[in-house]
Amino acid sequence: MNIFKEGVDAPVYPSDMYPPFVMALLDETYTPDEVMLQMYRGERIPTGKEQWTLSNAVHRGMIKDRNYLIKQRMLYESDDDMGEDLGGNPDEADLDVVADG
C-alpha cells in the first residue's frame, strides 16, 4: 500500500517468509468482556494469556469499584464530622424567636 501518487507499492511475500510475531498480529483478539461471554456460553476455554488479561481486568474493576465506594462514603458519611462543634450552644433560645423580639 502506497500513500504517494508517484510511489511504488511495497512487495508482498509469502507468509512463511515473515517472522512468527507478524503472523500472530493477524490472530483474532477478544476483549475481557467477550472472553467472559464465551466462557459463560461454554464456547471455549481462554488461553493462558487471555486468562491473565481477564484476571487483570477483574482486579482493575474491583479497585475502581472500591475507590468509588470509598469516595462516596467520605463525601457523605465522614467520621471526621462526628462530634464536630458547630458553634451553637444548646441552652440558647432559637435565633428566629430572639430576632422577632
In a domain, 66, yes or no: yes
In a domain, 13, yes or no: yes
H or E element: which one contains 52? helix 48-76
| Contacts of residue 87, Cβ cutoff 8 Å, sequence gap at least 6 | none
Q: What is the pLDDT of residue 56?
A: 94
Domain of 27 in residue numbering reads as 8-78
In a domain, 50, yes or no: yes
In a domain, 55, yes or no: yes
Domain count for the chain, please give it.
1
In a domain, 83, yes or no: no
Q: What is the pLDDT of residue 8?
A: 86
Q: What is the pLDDT of residues 59-97, one digit of tens each?
A: 999 999 988 888 877 655 555 555 555 565 655 556 666
Q: How far is CA 13 from CA 10, 16, 17, 18, 63, in A?
A: 10, 8, 7, 8, 46
Q: What is the pLDDT of residue 29?
A: 87
Of 73 and 29, the structure prediction assigns the larger pLDDT to 29
In a domain, 68, yes or no: yes
